Amino acid sequence: MNRVRKKNKLFSFNQIKGVSMNKFWRFQGVITLSLIALVLPACANNEEANIPTGGNVTTKEVVDNTAQLAGKNVTVRSEPLDKVGPASFTVSDEKFFGSEPILVINASGEPFTLPGDDDIEVQVTGVVRNLVIADVEREYNLKLDRQYYVDYENKPTIIAQSIALSPDPGDITKNPEKYYNKRLAVTGEVEDIQNPNIFTLDEEKLFGATDLLVLNPNPKAVIKDDQVVAVTGVLRPFIAAEFEREYDLGWDLQLKQKLEAEYTTKPVFVADRVYPSAISD
């Protein structure tokens, strides 16, 4: 009788143990499935995080993500390729081999002449969309000659609200007469901050060229050495007396004398906007 009872007790213990282990494995399965459910959305979010949402982008990103960028304002800095119509041209990034050109239609209300120098880039800011000629004509009050746009219908297009030449700092300082009194968009690395409204953009690419002096009369954000910024504005000859009359700069005598000694007869880029750039200089 005692043996039978011991066997029964042993059997009962194994049953209990089996039930516990089953519950354990079921519980572990629930945890695993829960973790998978958490991880998969996270992976999806990471993938979505790589999709641009506007701002500074490359032409390749516009081509690859037209649906996600449609209706959003973007800024591209790229070499112009070909004139298409009286107010349109194509752009593309040479560094992305085989990248499809993007049509740019000028809806800024200001005429824009493509640079004769193939090495000079342009900066374009506008809305991304697939080209439907009738819609663009209606929404932007434009008249487009359809013969120019047959090959671009339903393809990625930027309807530009602003277009500016975008030379490198060294291109400007080496040949300033080419750019005086023109609206420019320049990207470069900040150096030699004299005060909140005077700094230079570094030039390392062009042999024999010098850094570009930037006058930022109304600074809206703090900039730092080595920060890559985009600057929009107009290039002018450096005449300290003119700038002091036009702007409240607060230069002391020592700074004024230093700037006049170094930059008289040289160009200064008078900025209307300075902001961190996601576009490489």
CATH number corresponding to 55-165: 2.40.50.140
- For every residue of 80-114, DSSP letters joined together read EEEEEETTEEEEE-TTSTTPPPEEEEE-SSS----
Most confident of 27-36, 48-57, 247-256: 247-256
Neighbours of 229 (CB within 10 A): 23
Give pLDDT, residue 198. Answer: 94
CA-nearest of 75, 81, 49, 47 to 62 is 75
Give pLDDT, residue 206. Answer: 54
Residues 174-202 have a mean pLDDT of 92
- Say what the pTM is: 0.71
31-35, 227-231, 240-244, 255-259: least confident range: 31-35
Give pLDDT, residue 35. Answer: 36
Q: Report yes or no: 194 and 254 within 8 Å, Cβ to Cβ.
A: no
Q: Report yes or no: 120 and 187 within 8 Å, Cβ to Cβ.
A: no
Q: How confident is the model at residue 279 (pLDDT cuts 50, 70, 90)?
A: low
pLDDT tens readout for residues 165-182:
999 999 999 999 999 999
On the question of pLDDT at 36 being above 50, the answer is no
41-50, 202-211, 244-253: least confident range: 41-50
On the question of pLDDT at 10 being above 50, the answer is no
Give pLDDT, residue 95. Answer: 60
* Mean per-residue pLDDT of the chain: 80
Name the token pair of 41.
């959305």
On the question of pLDDT at 22 being above 70, the answer is no
Give pLDDT, residue 160. Answer: 96
Residue of 54 and 5 predicted with greater confidence: 54
On the question of pLDDT at 94 being above 80, the answer is no
Give pLDDT, residue 57. Answer: 87
Residues 9-36 have a mean pLDDT of 42
Give pLDDT, residue 156. Answer: 94
2-5 long-range CB contacts below 8 Å, 24 or more apart? none
Q: Report yes or no: 248 and 224 within 8 Å, Cβ to Cβ.
A: no
Q: How confident is the model at residue 116 (pLDDT cuts 50, 70, 90)?
A: confident
The domain at 169-276 falls in which architecture? Beta Barrel (2.40)
23-32, 52-61, 230-239: least confident range: 23-32
pLDDT tens readout for residues 37-69:
433 344 433 334 445 555 788 888 999 999 999
Q: How confident is the model at residue 220 (pLDDT cuts 50, 70, 90)?
A: confident
pLDDT tens readout for residues 129-150:
999 999 999 999 999 999 999 9
